[in-house]
Amino acid sequence: MKTLLGAVCLVVSSYAMASTQTNYMFFQSDSQAHLEKNADSSYTLTLQNPPNYLSYFSDRPARSTGLISLSDFLRLWQDKSVKDNFSEVPPNVAFAMMPSTGKQQNFVAVVSDPQYSNNKVTYKLAVIGKQSIQTGDMTHVDAFFDNIPWNPGGFGHSKE
Q: Tell me: pLDDT of 63 over 80.
A: yes
Domain with 131 in it: 23-147
β-bridge partners, 142:
29, 96
Whether 159 is covered by a domain: the verdict is no
pTM of the model: 0.81
Cα 90–chain centre separation: 8
Whether 90 is covered by a domain: the verdict is yes
Whether 68 is covered by a domain: the verdict is yes
pLDDT digits 0-9 by tens, 98-113: 999 899 999 999 999 9
User: How many structural domains does the chain have?
Assistant: 1
Mean pLDDT of all residues belonging to the chain: 84
